[in-house]
Amino acid sequence: MLREKAEVVHNDSSGAVLHSASMSIEVPSVIRLRRYVRIPMRTRVPLTRAALMRRDNYRCAYCGRRAETIDHVLPRSRGGKHVWENCVASCMSCNHRKADRLLEELGWTLNVTPGVPRGVHWRLIGLIHDGDPQWAPYVRELAA
């Protein structure tokens, strides 16, 4: 593009344009670097609401309905940590019913075993789910 370090593969379909004092450039949606650039990957995926919902497929770990909240399996008020292994997606109803109680006290079981998502493949799925729809053909190609 500007310094010949990348080439445009796919332009943004919205037709957005960046303007400077001396030039205008169409905003690309997908570019390809002409040389390999090593990008350090985190060894652990950060725990965010979006990432947790994606891990649990937006489904409540207790009843299977659509999840809107995060629940700590071992409540924080009872010493539970805010870590992947202790957090699950939960619908509002189940989260309120569970409150700060243990699963054993309610006679409940988890439909899933919470764990840390790992690997580049998981990150690519995140790009497909959260990214620009124009990226999908390029990201799916890498994930396959």
In-domain check, residue 61: yes
66 & 91 share domain: yes
Residue 132 included in any domain: no
Same domain? For 59 and 32 the reply is: no
Rounded distance between C-alpha atoms, residue 96 and residue 92, angstroms: 6
* Whether pLDDT at 15 is above 90: no
Instruction: Quote the domain boundaries for residue 3.
Output: 1-40
**For residue range 31-86, what is the model confidence (pLDDT) as tens digits?**
888 888 887 776 677 888 988 998 999 999 999 999 999 999 999 999 999 999 99
For the chain, how far is it from start to end, CA to CA, in angstroms? 28
Tell me how many domains the chain contains: 2
Instruction: For residues 56 and 80, state if they share a domain.
Output: yes
Residue 25 in any domain: the answer is yes
